Structure 1
Amino acid sequence: MCSHYQTLKDAELLLQKFGVRTQSLSGKTDMWPRYQGVFIRQPVEHDAGDEAVPPREAVTGRWGLISATTPASGLDKAGKLSTFNARSETAAKSFTFGNAWRRAQHCIIAADAIFEPDWRTGVAIATRFTRSDGAPLGIAGLWDRWRDAAGQLQESFTMLTINADHDPLFSQYHQAGHEKRMVVMLPEGAYGDWLTASAGDTRDFLLPYPADKLLATPFKKNG
């Protein structure tokens, strides 16, 4: 489970690696659940046949998905749930994530790093995970949108996770006795395919990222 990441802040890298431009990279660098962050998706209008619609867009939304099927009476409760990660094994049948899964509303979260706790000393030590080649991470996610009390459409997203009990890297993190999880980090060559994949093909992308292509560094805040 990932509850903290550092968003990609380099607009040129966002264009180079993910093929999108945005004016929304001036917000928070450290992302926590319910913060507003940038995610990448196919535009909602991509099937309209309008050549002016780009193949991808960068959107700002809530990290913590709220389903479009959530009734107005349930929005307060939905907003308090921990929906920043979606278990890939159960997301398709989940009330919260099922609509986005069935509609193949795939997105990518561009990140400089993610964080997980290292409990091997008996004390949680925040550990920063990055790509060993210095390139940004492209994390597979789902997006959805809901109408707030004023009737305005609001965007949200979540990161997909898979079991990591046997992963050579992520199996070492989180508390002993608890299931080990990791977010799905896509290879760069899969970005376009992920965004256009059907719901039936979603699970083909839910694979562990090669451990030897990642760096895990104990993290200390400045000061």
Structure 2
Amino acid sequence: MCSHYEAPAPQRVAETFGVEPFEQGKLDLYPGYTGPFVRHAEDVDAESQEPVEALPGSFGLIPSWSKDKKIARNTYNCRSETASQKPSFRSAWRKAQHCIIPAAAIYEPDWRSGNAITTRIVRADGEVMGIAGLWEQWRDPGTEKILHSYTMLTINADDHPFMRNYHKPQDEKRMVVILPKGLYGDWLKAPAGDSMEFMRQYPADRMTVAM
């Protein structure tokens, strides 16, 4: 599970995903903070050169029925195995509202010493992580403004040589779904019935700890 991650610099996101440059405030993100997510562009015409777009959104999915934004504190990760049934996520899952969350690093607690040691985890090749997620839009009942939000999809990692080292010993091990770059386009365009095909563990030898 990931409740803390580092967004890449906007220019790096633009170069990695082929999107227009954008403004980004904080790069060190927690639930409720605003970060970028990449999705298939909704309005693509014949002259459009970009099939994808980057949008700002709340880290923590806010379903359309929510009364306020506080729910984002509990919806920043989504178990892929139950996404189609959970009230907070099922609409986005069934509508295949797929997105990719760019991350320079994720942070997880290493409990092997008996104490939680916050650990910065990156791709071994130094490239941007593309984390599979779901996006949603919510209308603020007070201002009528539309707010976008997103959640990171997770899978079991009990047998993952790298990620099984994180979180408390008695807890189930989970990890976010890091997509291979070659699957970015396929994930964004995939129908709901194919979503689980992308829920795979990222190879342990392609992940490392960095300062």
TM over 0.5: yes
| RMSD (Å) for aligned C-alpha atoms | 1.6
Instruction: Work out the percentage of aligned pairs sharing the same amino acid.
Output: 49
Q: Which residue of 2 aligns with 1:102?
A: 94
After TM superposition, the score normalised by the length of structure 1 is 0.89
Bigger drift between 102-111 and 14-23 goes to: 14-23
2:6 aligned with 1:14: no
* 1:10, distance to aligned residue in structure 2 (A): 4.8
Q: Which residue of 2 aligns with 1:37?
A: 35
Q: Which residue of 1 aligns with 2:187?
A: 194
Bigger drift between 148-157 and 111-120 goes to: 148-157
Give, as a single letter, the amino acid of the residue that structure 2 aligns with 1:204: E
Instruction: Note the 1:40-51 alignment, pairs <5 A.
Output: 40-46=38-44, 49=45, 51=47
Answer yes or no: is the 8 Å Cα contact 1:43–1:53 preserved in 2.
no
* 1:78, distance to aligned residue in structure 2 (A): 5.4
Q: Classify 1:114/1:66 alpha carbon distance in 2 versus 1 (closer, same or farther; 3 Å).
A: same
Q: Which residue of 2 aligns with 1:86?
A: 78
Q: Which residue of 1 aligns with 2:136?
A: 144
Q: Which residue of 2 aligns with 1:216?
A: 209
Please give the alpha-carbon distance, in whole angstroms, between the structure 2 residues aligned to 1:81 and 1:104.
23
Aligned length: 210
Please give the alpha-carbon distance, in whole angstroms, between the structure 1 residues aligned to 2:73 and 2:113.
30
Structure 1 unaligned regions, length at least 5: none
2:178 aligned with 1:182: no
Q: Return the match for 2:166 from 173, 190, 195.
A: 173
After TM superposition, the score normalised by the length of structure 2 is 0.94
Q: Return the match for 2:111 from 116, 119, 138.
A: 119
Give, as a single letter, the amino acid of the residue that structure 1 aligns with 2:61: L
* 1:80, distance to aligned residue in structure 2 (A): 5.8
Q: Deviations over 1:113-138 (max 9, x none)?
A: 00100001111001111111111101
Question: 1:93 aligns to what SS in structure 2?
Answer: coil
